[in-house]
Amino acid sequence: MDASAPANDILLEVEDLTKHFILHGDLFSKLAGEKAQTLKAVDGISFHIRKGETLGLVGESGCGKSTTARLITRLVEPTSGEIRLKDEDLLAFSTERMQEVRKEIQLVFQDPYSSLNPRKTIMQILSRPLEIHGLVDSWVEKRERVLELLRYVGLGIEHIDRYPHEFSGGQRQRIAIARALSVNPELVIGDEPVSALDVSIQAQILNLFRELQQEFDLTYLFIAHDLSVIRHISDRVAVMYIGKIVETGPADKLFLDPLHPYTKALLLAVPDADPDKPPPKLTLKGEVSTPIDPPPGCRLCGRCPVETKICGEVDPELVEVGDGRHVACHNL
């Protein structure tokens, strides 16, 4: 995807999206007069996804990537910011309208064990969204559609009356993908959809995501912590660190020539499955700091190898650096 594509190509646009959770603490801390703390899970992020593209969102645990997914689907209400789907303000929608719009945005979760109801058969699981959105008129039509969905994800008629526990992790993830596809969505958000799978199965599911994208012209927001998975699946990548996007850009460029010190460090820390490559090492100091009442300035302060005085005072903006890339760093 090149940066000069027309603007009406944009399916989803997120601007200055923020989610702060207020931590009130327990009774004792209240009695002691301690003030409530603010956990800045997502702190003013902006990005867009073009139609048919895959945006990979990568970062370590607690960086806010899952919260971002939940905000876009309005499973969590944002503190502030804008989310526009096809130029419409998603946050202004009524509950009824939102219900309708949910059809356009579907989620696939990490854990296929807890995201499928153990008491329902695959037929019931896959037909429920069809019923809710009134997409089928008769039982025959419904069954036809469910069979079609199973076929898309590599399962068959023999699976239709079984329960989730009869399937392996990879097969369950196929069912979760079929459920997401059932309502013909435009955008599919995968929240770590392959993290719980073994490598040989992970490759099957990653291929399935790609096949389905080509067949149905789907747009993906793909969230993962595994950098090689993100590299494989994404057209463009956004790197998050403690509630902020620190770098975005086309996958090739970002992985071959990372610009932000955090992106660089992340890539050097990945052990490559090639003994000739340099061993993984950490170029940052210390550990991830907390998103609770973070100090002013760059979030990487105190860990960064290229930090200067201004980093502790001013929060760097995400600025364009050419080639469709954006970086938030004072010391490029």
Partner 1 sequence: MPEPVLEIEDLTVRFHLKRGELTAVDGVSLSIQKGETFGLVGESGSGKTVTARSIMRLIPIPPGEIANGAIRFEGENVLDKTDAEMRELRGQKIAMVFQEPMSALNPVFSIGSQIIDALRTNLGMNKQEARERCIELLQIVGIPSPERRIKSYVHEFSGGMRQRVMLAMALSCDPTFLIADEPTTALDVTIQATILELIESMIERFHMSLIFITHNLGVVAHACDNIGVMYASHLVELGTKNEIFRDPQHPYTIGLLNSIPRLDTQKEFLTPIEGLVCNMLEPPAGCKFHPRCDHAMDICGREIPQMKEIAPGHFSACHLHEQT
Tell which positions 121-180 bind partner 1, by CB under 8 A. Answer: 168, 170-171
Contact status, residue 16 vs residue 82, Cβ threshold 8 Å: yes
Binds partner 1 (CB under 8 A): choice among 179, 231, 325, 330:
231
Instruction: Tell me if 200 contacts partner 1 by CB under 8 A.
Output: yes
Q: What DSSP letter does each residue of 96-156 carry, written as one string?
A: HHHHHHTTTEEEE-S-TTTSS-TTS-HHHHHHHHHHHTT--SSHHHHHHHHHHHHHHTT--
Alpha-carbon distances of 59 from 77, 148, 244, 315, rounded to whole Å:
22, 35, 10, 19
C-beta closer to partner 1: residue 140 or 273: 273
Contact status, residue 173 vs residue 108, Cβ threshold 8 Å: yes
Alpha-carbon distances of 42 from 25, 39, 223, 295, 307, rounded to whole Å:
20, 9, 15, 15, 23
> Pattern 264-303, binding to partner 1, x per CB under 8 A?
-xxxxxxxxxxx-x-xxxx-x--xx---------------
C-beta closer to partner 1: residue 32 or 273: 273
Instruction: Tell me if 252 contacts partner 1 by CB under 8 A.
Output: yes
Cα angle 257, 258, 261; round to 5:
145
C-beta closer to partner 1: residue 81 or 261: 261
Instruction: Tell me if 202 contacts partner 1 by CB under 8 A.
Output: yes
Tell which positions 66-125 bind partner 1, by CB under 8 A. Answer: none
Neighbours of 225 (CB within 10 A): 16
C-beta closer to partner 1: residue 99 or 168: 168
Count of residues engaged in binding partner 1, rule: CB under 8 A: 44
Contact window for partner 1 (CB under 8 A) among 34-42, 68-76, 131-139, 231-239: 231-239
> Pattern 33-52, binding to partner 1, x per CB under 8 A?
--------------------
161-181 b/e with 16+ CB inside 10 Å = b? Answer: eeebeebebbbbbbbbbbbbb
C-beta closer to partner 1: residue 275 or 322: 275
Contact status, residue 318 vs residue 262, Cβ threshold 8 Å: no
Q: By the criterion CB under 8 A, which residues form the site for partner 1?
A: 60-61, 168, 170-171, 198-204, 206-207, 210, 225, 227-229, 231-233, 251-252, 255, 265-275, 277, 279-282, 284, 287-288
